[in-house]
Structure 1
Amino acid sequence: MFAKSSAVGVKSSPSSPSWPSTPSVPSTPSTPSAPSRPSSPSQAINTTPTDASIIRLKKSFFNVVMFNRNLIFSWKQIYLDQHFSALTQYRA
Structure 2
Amino acid sequence: MTDTSFEHPKAGSEASPPGLRSFAASMLAGVLRALAVRRDRRLLHALPDSLLKDIGINRGNIDYVATRDECGGFGSRGDSLYSSCRPRSE
TM superposition score category, shorter chain reference:
0.3 to 0.5
Query: Counting helix residues as a fraction of each chain, which structure ranks higher?
Result: 1
Taking structure 2 as the reference length, the TM-score comes to 0.39
**Which of these two proteins has the greater Rg computed from alpha carbons?**
1
The normalised TM-score by structure 1 is 0.38
